[in-house]
Amino acid sequence: MTTGRSHLVAQTQLSTEAPPDGRRPTGAKEAKPASGARRGSRSGSTSRDTLAGYLFLSPWCIGMLLLTLGPMLASLYLSFTDYDLFTTPEWVGLENYTTMFSDERWLQSVRVTLGYVLIATPLKLIAALAVAMLLVRPRRGQGFYRSAFYAPSLIGASVSIGIVWRALFSDDGAVDSTLSLVGLGNDGWVGDPQLSLWVLVALSMWQFGAPMVIFLAGLKQIPRDLYEAASVDGAGWWRQFRSITVPMLSPIVFFNLLLETIHAFQVFTSAFVVSNGTGGPAGSTMFYTLYLYERGFEDFRMGYASAMAWMLLLGVGLVTLVLFRTSNAWVHYSGDESR
Amino acid sequence: MTATIEQAAPGGAWNPTRRRRTTGSVIWHVAALAALAVVLYPVFWLVSASFKPSDDIIGNLQLLPTSPTFDNYSSAVEGIAGVPVLTFFRNSLIIAVGSVVGTVMSASLAAYAFARIRFRGRGVLFAMMIGTLLLPFHVLMIPQYIIFQRLELINTFVPLLLGKFLATEAFFVFLLVQFMRGLPRELDEAARIDGCGHVRIFWSIMLPLMRPALITASIFSFIWSWNDFLGPLLYLNDPNTFPLSRGLQLFIDQQSNSDYGAMIAMSMLALLPVMLFFLAFQRYLVDGVATEGLKG
């Protein structure tokens, strides 16, 4: 529901490669032994099965209609209206969409969010990969390390950690005091428009655990003999990393990149807490979702906020598309040789 | 696959001498512990700050409190805006437990239909389910709010729980579908030949076998709704209905006239159940993420 969870939601989902209707074992098995025993089981989907299917699926179907599809259509309609929640929506056509491009705060929120996505996502993935590579060789206590590094991913999006972050990066906070020891002190990161976004970048990086676990699983799939062969040929660590690890891991990199990017677009709780709901200082942490919330639930401009939500959907969709398109150039699907 | 790597390593080709291996391992542990210290520092800081006197929390680099005190906790327990922390705790608990019950029930039903029943339209519906995984919540937020506002359900837990009972979080449906596909088909086919209906197969065969996946789903569902902030921010305005996440936000808003130590202590209290859950179930959590992410 919230942005916090959507990353894990996303985290697990690439396995869409699995056929949408898990047809695999049925064909062969059902055809032979079962068909004799059960009348008319050839087609598989008897009307009884269909009835049962929809009965089992009924909570999901109701939820889909009432809480997902219905609201999607409603939000699309509202995005073409002026609506304050109390009077009837007034049709304004594309006005909400055109106003955005001259709305200084909207433009600022787009800049902040894009900047955040571009900085935070790669840094988080680099941290995740680095730690995953540290943990990939079996060592004593490996399970402990893996879990401990994963922990921040679970609590990072909570209000509690937002408060901790504010304290750590405030004036005289731990980060500032530590930097002062080496003469790099300032008046706190949270209050400085130049630095405040980095506070949230650091918080995002800190939650590298979820992509790390996925990298770890991917690294373990790379056959060991590739490295052995390479080191016999005299390839050093860096060369092995570049020529074996990166290409072999590229589908996993792509997977993590896609999900973390989508996740980064939707960051809300930490931005809200760190800036105390203001997006400040000087709009430097005015995230897109924060501005959407402000327009919708503080200014009651529900039509405008709906249009913003659809622009977010378009933006995320566009980025996903671009990532998929460019992925052909650098993602290697090794087919069967990985095993 | 993993097993072969693990077996190969101890006697592996590039561990020529035992001594070199020990040195390497010491260096590795030092590096890993150093990285861990950096990563877990904020958590240590929170725990320690919660025992420091209020004016000693900011501007003091010492990790351990010099004169530990429980004052923060005692003032945190009093709560904020006349609402005791216990109320926030109770509200969080109701929401989190309700989410777990709703999610497990509705998601396992839906997953059984997707994974085990062949019916017309399944492919399309499954594709829709996968599609919602990527849909930003913000697109649904405003109409959903309008619905619940019209139904006069603001300041109740219904808006936060209804979706859980209707399996709107596709993550959980997907997780359970993936798990169920891994269970042998022979089980339910044999049961069907013996005359079992879907209800019986689901209840007596599938549910017991799905326990590990159900545990994973329950833990994630609990932790996520415990940490959830946006939902309660939208639907709850009465402090008596606030869960801890909202209670904490209230603390920040009134920071000028309340003390910092209590806020930190309350943050600590809010994280405690999550930390305990994590310690108890981390194996399920970490494996859940890794395997579900990669299974194809």
Tens digits of residue pLDDT in A108-123: 999 999 999 999 999 9
Say whether pTM exceeds 0.90: no
Chain A and chain B share a number of CB contacts under 8 A equal to: 368
Nearest by CB to residue A178, choosing from B61, B139, B171, is B61
Tokens standing for residue B8: 């190969």
Closest C-alpha among A269, A291, A261, A266 to residue A278:
A291
Tokens standing for residue A202: 């650091």
- Residues in chain A with CB shorter than 8 Å from the CB of B288 are 12
Convert the pLDDT of each residue in B119-176 to its tens digit: 989 999 999 999 898 899 999 999 999 999 999 999 999 999 999 999 999 999 999 9
pLDDT < 50 regions, chain B: 1-15, 295-296
With tokens 């008319």, the residue in question is: A40
Show the domains of chain B with their CATH numbers. 24-68 (no CATH), 77-293 (1.10.3720.10)
| DSSP codes of every residue in A235-265 | --HHHHIIIIIHHHHHHHHHHHHHHHHHHHH
Whether residue A28 has pLDDT greater than 70: no
Q: Which string of b and e fits B122-138 if b means at least 16 CB within 10 Å?
A: beebbeebbebbbbbbb
Q: Measured between CB atoms, does B157 come within 8 Å of chain A?
A: no
Type of residue numbered A125: L
Closest residue on chain A to B14 (Cα): A228
Closest C-alpha among B67, B12, B80 to residue B270:
B80
Convert the pLDDT of each residue in B86-115 to its tens digit: 999 999 999 999 999 999 999 999 999 999
- Residues in chain B with CB shorter than 8 Å from the CB of A15 are 178, 292-296
Task: Kindly determine whether residue B189 and residue A34, on different chains, have CB atoms separated by under 8 Å.
Answer: yes
Closest C-alpha among B259, B204, B255, B227 to residue B95:
B227
Question: How high is the ipTM of this complex?
Answer: 0.87
Q: Cis omega before residue A122 (within 30°)?
A: no
- For residue A278, which phi and psi values (nearest 5 degrees)? -100, -20
| pLDDT bracket for residue A34 (50, 70, 90) | very low
Closest residue on chain B to A52 (Cα): B198
In this predicted structure, what is the pLDDT of residue A180? 80
Nearest by CB to residue B274, choosing from A16, A150, A155, is A155
Task: Kindly determine whether residue B286 and residue A309, on different chains, have CB atoms separated by under 8 Å.
Answer: no
B 87-126 residues with CB < 8 A to A: 105-106, 109-110, 112-115, 117-120, 122-123, 125-126
Q: Measured between CB atoms, does B293 come within 8 Å of chain A?
A: yes
- Residues in chain A with CB shorter than 8 Å from the CB of B163 are 1, 63, 67
In this predicted structure, what is the pLDDT of residue B17? 58
- Residues in chain A with CB shorter than 8 Å from the CB of B143 are 70-72, 74-75, 78, 306
Distance from CA of B61 to the nearest CA of A (A): 6
